[in-house]
């Protein structure tokens, strides 16, 4: 699946809005979210988990 130019990731969240990420963007996902990720390469992830 092709993602539009300038978009590096599209995160589809079940029951919620789809998130699109560009270079330098951050996103927050709700606990337990069921997601489907569509990525271009290269893509770098940095995760912070909070309880």
pLDDT of residue 4: 67
For residues 8 and 27, is the Cβ–Cβ distance under 8 A? no
Please report the pLDDT score of residue 2 as a whole number: 53
**What pLDDT shows up at residue 44?**
78
Supply the pLDDT for residue 3: 62
pLDDT in tens, the chain (51 residues): 556 667 788 999 999 999 998 888 889 888 899 999 998 867 777 888 877
| Burial (0-12, 13-18, 19+ Cβ within 10 Å), 10 | middle
């Amino acid at each position: 699946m092709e993602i539009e130019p300038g978009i590096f990731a599209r995160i589809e969240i079940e029951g919620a809005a789809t998130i699109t990420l560009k270079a330098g963007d951050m996103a927050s996902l709700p606990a337990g979210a069921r997601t489907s990720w569509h990525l271009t390469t290269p893509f770098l992830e940095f995760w912070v988990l909070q309880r």
